[in-house]
Amino acid sequence: MKRLIMAVVLAAVAPALAQPQTTRATVNGYVIDSACLFIKNLEKPVSKQCAIDCAKAGSPLVILADDGTIYLPISGDMPATGQNARLMDFAGERVVVSGKVFERGGSHAIVIEEIKAALAAK
C-alpha cells in the first residue's frame, strides 16, 4: 500500500519537477556579447563598439548580471525570434531589465518586458 501511495505521489509531482522554474525579476547588469564573455572571461564589455560589432556578426547578446549570473534574452512568442535587435541600443552598456526569468539545468533566460539604461554611478 505504501508503494502504491508513493507511486501516485511521484506521478503527480514528477511533471511539476520537470518544468523549468519561472519567476519575475529585475536584473541589473551589462549587455555583452556572449562569445567574448565566455572566451575572454570578461566581467564587463571591452567597449560599446566591440559588443555592437560582435552582435552584428551574429553573436548573441546576453545580460551579465551584477552577481555574475548570465541571462539569455529569449522571445516569449512562438515561433521565437532573436533578441539582438532589441538589445543593440544597449550593447556594451549597463541596463536594468525586468521580465519573466526561466531557470533550467543551471542556465538562465529572460523574456524582457522592460529594458532601460541603468543610471550612471555617482
122 within some domain: no
CATH label of the domain that carries residue 69: 2.40.50.500
72 within some domain: yes
Model confidence over 86-101: pLDDT tens digits? 999 999 999 999 999 9
Number of domain units in the chain: 1
65 within some domain: yes
48 within some domain: yes
User: Hunting for cell 532573436 — which residue is that?
Assistant: 82
For residue 39, give the nearest of 26, 50, 28 by alpha carbon. 50
> How crowded is the C-beta side of 108, counted as CA atoms within 13 Å?
18
Query: Which pTM value belongs to this model?
Result: 0.80
57 within some domain: yes
Model confidence over 10-59: pLDDT tens digits? 555 555 555 567 899 999 999 999 999 999 998 899 999 999 999 999 99
Question: Residue 104 belongs to what domain range?
Answer: 20-117
11 within some domain: no
